[in-house]
Amino acid sequence: MEAVYSNLLNLQWQQVVMWVIGGLLIYLAIKKDMEPTLLLPMGFGAILVNLPMSGAVTQVIDGVEEIGVISLLFDSGIANELFPLLLFIGIGAMIDFGPLLSNPKLMLFGAAAQFGIFFTLCMAALFGFDIKDAASIAIIGAADGPTSIFVANFLQSNYIGAIIVAAYSYMALVPIVQPPVIKLLTTKKERLIRMPYEQRNVSKTTRILFPIIVTIIAGVVAPRSVALVGFLMFGNLIRECGVLGSLSETAQKVLANLITLFLGITVAARMQADAFLNPQTLLILGLGLVAFIVDTAGGVIFGKVINIFSKKKINPMIGAAGISAFPMSSRVVHKLGLAEDPHNFLLMHAAGANVSGQIASVIAGGLLLNFLG
């Protein structure tokens, strides 16, 4: 009988707190529809790895190491950066770069909206994190889960669990985080600027050459980003080549779903109470929010600066879509535009800036790895 309840004595209050956090993530995933594909497995995983003497994680019992399946998955799929890279094939296959290819100038917004990453790097350093942890925290501003996982893992951050929770939570909160920042930085007159969309045809050759060219350019400048950029662009090449429809569909659906399924629960390996419950986690959540806010501000302010020099005015709100959170961010900008003027359709411009942000955030991650890796 004692065997039935003896393990209860191993339970620590910190583990119970992690159950509550896990429950909260599951609640947010189901009830609030916040990134359910990631937050639900992460929430369940947080409970799983925080059971007393959990067999899901590797532990030493009576001097013998027992390998846990979550730890095994972590070592096989995240510690070697495999899962985020494979997921990038699926993401690349999902993205239509058409709006960007028909208006390449929108790419500049993707670059400007990465300012939050580097601003947060400075802030995290100021708050006492060492340079590699600061960079790992800063990459939350990439607004892109796989990039955050890749960079934080590459730099061997001690806070990878908190970083991933922050990255995915704020991506889900983009519709709440971005509008106040955009409204604060723009006047009503600016928000009313109309940008008629001119549909320009993009040749199939351009669509096919684009992922190859991006891989070469990004790879030459930031060689450590080449795996990230390369897998993203490989997925896109599969989509655009026109002869691999079945593979493209598999990458977009089956592959992306499978990897996401394992990624969420595997990340929980770094959500054990002793590593997760500390004041730094709260600080990381705060810095993650700063990264998203400054990213948004960077894009909007860049749009306002361009308007000073340009005759053809740009609605600076589309700058906010330069963060990588795709497609949430472009939808936010589109809705804000419609709220000011029901006939102002900004979606295609915002989508162009948004997919540019996807590329720029990966390049930002690669540059950080180049500087600090």
Partner 1 sequence: MNVELFLETLPIMLKGMVGIFIVIAAIMISITVLNKVTAGKGEKE
**Based on the number of CB atoms within 10 Å of its own CB, is 198 exposed (0-12), middle (13-18) or buried (19 or more)?**
exposed
- The dihedral of CA 351, 226, 139, 18: what is its sign? positive
Closest contact distance (angstroms) between CB of 108 and partner 1 is 6
226 is a contact residue toward partner 1 (CB under 8 A): no
Nearer to partner 1, 74 or 302 (CB): 302
- Retrieve residue 139's tokens: 């990459």
Nearer to partner 1, 15 or 215 (CB): 215
SS (H, E, C) 153-179: HHCCCCCHHHHHHHHHHHHHCHHHHHH
CA distance 296 to 291: 9
Residue type, 252: Q
Give how far the C-alpha of residue 25 lies from the chain's centroid of Cα atoms, to the nearest Å.
17
* Torsion of Cα atoms, 122 then 366 then 179 then 166, to 10°: -70
158 is a contact residue toward partner 1 (CB under 8 A): no
Closest contact distance (angstroms) between CB of 201 and partner 1 is 4
Closest contact distance (angstroms) between CB of 135 and partner 1 is 8
User: Contact region for partner 1 (CB under 8 A) — 15-23, 114-122, 159-167, 255-263?
Assistant: 114-122
User: Contact region for partner 1 (CB under 8 A) — 10-18, 47-55, 124-132, 180-188?
Assistant: 124-132
Question: 167 near 145, Cβ under 8 Å?
Answer: yes
Q: Identify whether 327 is preceded by a cis peptide bond (ω within 30 of 0).
A: yes
Give how far the C-alpha of residue 187 lies from the chain's centroid of Cα atoms, to the nearest Å.
29
Nearer to partner 1, 145 or 298 (CB): 298
Residue listed under structure tokens 């009503």: 188
Closest contact distance (angstroms) between CB of 122 and partner 1 is 5
Interface residue with partner 1 among 206, 250, 278, 307 (CB under 8 A) is 206
Spatial CA neighbour of 296 closest among 164, 189, 188, 171: 171
User: Contact region for partner 1 (CB under 8 A) — 199-207, 268-276, 308-316, 347-355?
Assistant: 199-207
284 is a contact residue toward partner 1 (CB under 8 A): no
- Retrieve residue 156's tokens: 């061997």
209 is a contact residue toward partner 1 (CB under 8 A): yes
Interface residue with partner 1 among 122, 176, 184, 305 (CB under 8 A) is 122
CA distance 255 to 283: 34
Closest contact distance (angstroms) between CB of 210 and partner 1 is 7
Nearer to partner 1, 181 or 218 (CB): 218
214 is a contact residue toward partner 1 (CB under 8 A): yes
Interaction pattern, residues 306-345, with partner 1; x per rule: CB under 8 A: ----------------------------------------
54 is a contact residue toward partner 1 (CB under 8 A): no
- Retrieve residue 163's tokens: 């970083």
192 is a contact residue toward partner 1 (CB under 8 A): no
Q: Report angle CA 252, 116, 371 to the nearest 5 degrees.
A: 85
Return all residues near 341 (Cβ < 8 A) that are at least 6 apart. 192, 194
107 is a contact residue toward partner 1 (CB under 8 A): yes
Contacting partner 1 within 353-372 (CB under 8 A): 356, 359-360, 363-364, 367-368, 371-372
Closest contact distance (angstroms) between CB of 137 and partner 1 is 12
User: Contact region for partner 1 (CB under 8 A) — 122-130, 145-153, 173-181, 251-259?
Assistant: 122-130
CA distance 242 to 231: 18
Helix (H, G, I), strand (E, B) or coil at 59: strand
Name the residues that contact partner 1, by CB under 8 A: 100-102, 104-105, 107-108, 110-111, 114-115, 117-119, 121-122, 125-128, 130-131, 134, 200-207, 209-210, 213-214, 217-218, 221-222, 356, 359-360, 363-364, 367-368, 371-372
